[in-house]
Amino acid sequence: MLKKDYLGFSKKDFHIYIILLSAPVLLTIYRYHGYPGTFNPFLDLGYATDQTVSINQFIIFFLLMFIVPVLYIKIAMKKRLSEFGFGLGDTGFGVKTLILIPLIVVPAIYFAANMPDVRSEYPLAKSLIQDQSHLLVYELAYVIFYYIAWEFFFRGFLLFGLKNKFGAFNAILIQTISSCLVHIGKPEGEIIGSIIVGIIFGIIALRTKSIWYVFLLHAAIGVLTDLFIIYNN
């Protein structure tokens, strides 16, 4: 006969269970209700259709992956966002990591932006290649709604929320697995890169106790990929 606690369920770990389940639940909602073709744009800026759809996509991602976790942290967990990497953390080490942008990120992205599979994927709004009149607004939406939400969810909510329970490196692997799965359907090289970057960014986030330095690195990768493709087409 199975013991009452054979599942190992513990009420004190309730928030841990919610954090773990948030990844498949929220990402599934995003996949089926936040990808282009799965929703009708609720915000029409009068831009080209693909730009409008992409900006709406970024906002949906922000609502799911930033607003929902923030509300849970503040209302249910009653904790400070700084406990999930939302503060500046170790600014000295953090600023030093940003030297990776000119030394590694820019050259690597310039090279990647010339690869056919990357050029076929980015920018998400292909009309930007011919018309850059709204490029600034598009990229700002990309950075503010998509990349802040991405880093807060994976390198904040998941990573900092799970590290005390499972240990630092196990938490890094959990958020890496989750973030990698979002890349399914992207170029193979990008998926492999997301595993490597996920681990590295997780280490940096924990070392700095902040998501903001990896946010700047990640946003630089995304924006530079778009710009190199658009202006080298």
Residue 9 lies in a domain: no
Residue 203 lies in a domain: yes
**117 Cβ contact list (under 8 Å, min separation 6):** 187, 188, 189
Residue 175 lies in a domain: yes
Residue 30 lies in a domain: yes
Residue 34's CB is within 10 A of a number of other CB atoms, namely 21
Residue 142 lies in a domain: yes
- What is the spatial distance between Cα 34 and Cα 60, in angstroms, rounded to a whole number? 6
Q: How confident is the model at residue 55 (pLDDT cuts 50, 70, 90)?
A: very high
* Whole-Å CA distances, 224 to 27, 48, 101: 25, 21, 10
What residue numbers bound the domain in which 179 lies?
A: 14-230
Does residue 108 register a pLDDT over 80? yes
Question: pLDDT at position 4, please?
Answer: 54
Residue 197 lies in a domain: yes
Residue 1 lies in a domain: no
Residue 4 lies in a domain: no
Count of structural domains within the chain: 1
pLDDT digits (tens, 9 = 90+) for 114-148: 999 999 999 999 999 999 999 999 999 999 999 99
- What is the spatial distance between Cα 7 and Cα 9, in angstroms, rounded to a whole number? 5
pLDDT digits (tens, 9 = 90+) for 158-194: 999 999 999 999 999 999 999 998 888 888 889 999 9
pLDDT digits (tens, 9 = 90+) for 11-44: 899 999 999 999 999 999 999 999 999 999 999 9
Q: Is-contact 221 109, C-beta < 8 A?
A: yes
